[in-house]
Structure 1
């Protein structure tokens, strides 16, 4: 468990560094947000994989960490279901700019939340 979490944490750090840098550079020049979106695909895929890997150790984790993991996966599932509904069923995504802003920023918040959870697991081991 210890080595798997350590490796997962380091890979997450390596992926998050260029992601955060591209988002911060996107404040200055909007073209960098394109690179942030590409990196976000890799970060999101890895973080879902690392969640599934960490789920194997769910019973060994502290109750606060389990609670944070439950909150994380609930928000991720809610995000995917609501994005499907808004895009495919109701087509509200194209009409409302506010909805676009929420759905573009929420994955960033989710990636930071998962990074926090992984770091807290790594510190407690």
Structure 2
């Protein structure tokens, strides 16, 4: 189980790197869109997974995919650091948008994932 957890975490981190890079290549500006996309997507996946585990899927799925993959994929610490960098540069509106966007959109995405799991 430990090996699966570690592998899933590594895959999550690699996926984060790929998604963040792809988004940054297509979207310029002050806001760190790549981090936002990663966190919203990861929150949706974790909400979906949580809903499936609550409905009876094995707890091993929660550990490997939730803790491993989603833990390696999402990066709320980077979102916090990005927000501080924006604020220190004087881009207060962008900092507030980044902070609020990450908070609101990730919660909505997790709720959507839970809801979708309930329908399955």
What interval of TM-score do these two structures reach, taking the shorter chain for normalisation? 0.3 to 0.5
RCO greater where, 1 or 2, for CA within 8 Å and sep 6 or more? 2
Q: TM-score by structure 2 length?
A: 0.36
Q: TM-score by structure 1 length?
A: 0.35
